[in-house]
Amino acid sequence: MSTATDAKTQDCSIIALDKFIQATRDSGYKSTAAALSELVDNSIQAGATRIAIKIAMTDAESGNGIEVSVLDNGCGMDPFTLRQALRFGGSTRFGDRSGLGRYGMGLPNASLSQARRVTVYAWQSIGSDATAATRMTTCGGLAKRVYMSYLDVDKIVQAKMVEIPRPIVVKSAPQECVAPSGTFIRWTHCDRLDNRRVSTIVRKVETELARRFRHYLRKRLKITINGEAIKAFDPLHLYSDAELSGASLFGEELRYEVPVNPSDPKNTGWVKVRFSELPVHEWHKLSNDEKRRFGISRGSGVSIVRAGREVDYGWFFMGGKSRENYDDWWRCEIQFDPVLDEAFGITHTKQQIRPLAHLIEAITPDLEATARELSRRVRRAHQKVKAGDDRCSDSERKASEREHLLRPLPREVSSSAKTLMRDLKKSHPLLRRKHLHSVRRYRIIEAPTKDKSFFSYARDGEQLILVLNPYHPFYRDIYKPLAEGESRRDQQLRASVELLLLAAARSEAAAGSDGATIARQRLEWSHALAAFLNDK
């Protein structure tokens, strides 16, 4: 009899809520940055152009009272959407592949993986919420309805919270709620952050978000952490305005049409792959600290990008090729259509992939072959450096040694040459080392030119920099094959071409007031040369 009574009173709900919440806190987020990325995803999908992250100590005496908040200027949420957003699986866009989220797990799952309480404020433009309560609050001089709801781990465990609280209109909204619409999320009682030092957490989050959301940061999105803007970081080192630039694309972009499932060959999506090659001869002189800071050392890998957002970074689709130190000097990026989520094995946390066999078979052979070729090229480049064959050193040294035979360059430097030198110093740390200036009067650097000339020059004091444009057909068809050639004749021809261009750059620098005319002539010459060399 007692057994029957016990069976009637036994909790047979699908989820044991208190245990589920505690278990889901261990749901596998790799870091605080990974959890915050979920909130950034939601902001982007809500149309936000500005996202402000704040990580601050609130209890200085205890040393562990860190709070984290995320504020955006997206479209905000009405009360129903806000309540659904705090539910596990409660997304209004469940299964939608057009954006960054699909499962409705991001906000509650990410938040409770780091904190014991998450509070969400949301508001929309006046007029978008006509059926809501009439009570309003004033934020930033604008009247708006700011709704609030929350999740609290302790209350759930104590059975004091069994459903998402109905959103209420707050009488005095946080001062952050100043945009016409938006969302403000606050994590409190943070007991699972990566570190107990705010500065360490900020540094790690900035590094991760700069890489994961680089494609968005290059467009309209601005993300700040404690008021400082995050600058996009490209692991392929292809951004010409980066602190360190100079890498070049290797080969053409590879494209693959892959079925979502082998049993349904008509349902397909596209995979796009590109490789970049880092300039060994220019960057090998960087110190070990600089190589670590710029992401060269231990930076080898493949960036997996879904819908413009990086979801994983690691050693993927390389077949039987093992990772070695030479692989630090090239990179790979794979972008894929969200329809291929299952083929890539994307989980709801969007921080790792588990590719299926048919995808691995489709793209691995080409990627492994390319990786092996790049590794061989890097190995040869390092062997040349080790043997003392520093690229461009012969022509740079010869030009420097024979400078005394020529009429001195005018002291006045053109504004364009000064500006270019200033820009080059930002992206080429070696140019900031003053002791190199006394050794070499001339240097040769590869960098895109704004006017698309096949070469330009920069000048600062006694040093003249010849800038070769790696995107001009002259570089692709003539200079690069010579620079990569193994024969002595190739090396001699390369040095001769470099001396020819150094002389042209010097003559332009020596022209004084006539330099602008020569610069126009150089541009016309470059355009004509491109037209003659291009196959199309």
Phi/psi for 14 (5° steps) reads -60, -35
Q: What is the pLDDT of residue 233?
A: 95
Is residue 33 within 8 Å of residue 355, measured between CB atoms?
Answer: no
Q: Which residues of 259-271 are buried (b: 16+ CB within 10 A; e: fewer)?
A: bbeeeeeeebbeb
At position 181, the amino acid (one-letter code) is: S
Is residue 117 within 8 Å of residue 153, measured between CB atoms?
Answer: yes
CA-angle at 370, arms to 366 and 375, nearest 5°: 150
- The residues pairing with 334 across neighbouring beta strands, listed in sequence order, are 273, 304
Give residues with Cβ within 8 angstroms of 96, minimum separation 6. Answer: 102
Which pair of structure tokens corresponds to residue 233? 């970081």
Indicate the burial class of 339 (C-beta count within 10 angstroms; 0-12, 13-18, 19 or more).
Answer: middle
HSE, side-chain direction, 13 A CA sphere, residue 328: 15
Cα separation, 344 vs 69, whole angstroms: 31
Q: What is the pLDDT of residue 243?
A: 85
Cα separation, 194 vs 36, whole angstroms: 12
Cα separation, 349 vs 30, whole angstroms: 10
Is residue 344 within 8 Å of residue 379, measured between CB atoms?
Answer: no
At position 108, the amino acid (one-letter code) is: P
Quick one: which of 56, 335, 75 has its CA closest to 186? 56
Mean pLDDT by 10 residues, the chain (536 residues): 53 58 68 94 95 88 76 95 85 50 68 94 72 47 81 89 92 89 95 92 96 95 97 93 88 95 91 95 86 91 95 95 95 96 83 92 96 94 69 77 90 87 78 56 84 89 86 90 83 91 93 83 92 81
Indicate the burial class of 357 (C-beta count within 10 angstroms; 0-12, 13-18, 19 or more).
Answer: exposed
Q: What is the pLDDT of residue 60?
A: 52
Q: What is the pLDDT of residue 90?
A: 54
DSSP per position, 44-56: HHTT-SEEEEEEE
Give residues with Cβ within 8 angstroms of 461, minimum separation 6. Answer: 437
Indicate the burial class of 36 (C-beta count within 10 angstroms; 0-12, 13-18, 19 or more).
Answer: buried
Cα separation, 453 vs 433, whole angstroms: 27
Sheet holding 442-446, edge to edge: 442-446, 463-468, 455-460
Give residues with Cβ within 8 angstroms of 370, minimum separation 6. Answer: 250, 251, 275, 332
What Cα–Cα distance (Å) separates residue 48 from each residue in 43, 51, 82, 120, 128? 5, 7, 16, 16, 17
Cα separation, 490 vs 501, whole angstroms: 17
Q: What is the pLDDT of residue 106?
A: 77
Which 3 state secondary structure label does DSSP give 408?
coil
At position 112, the amino acid (one-letter code) is: L
Q: What is the pLDDT of residue 516?
A: 83
Q: What is the pLDDT of residue 117?
A: 95
Q: What is the pLDDT of residue 66?
A: 94
- Name residue, tokens 């939601």: 42
Is residue 88 within 8 Å of residue 25, measured between CB atoms?
Answer: no
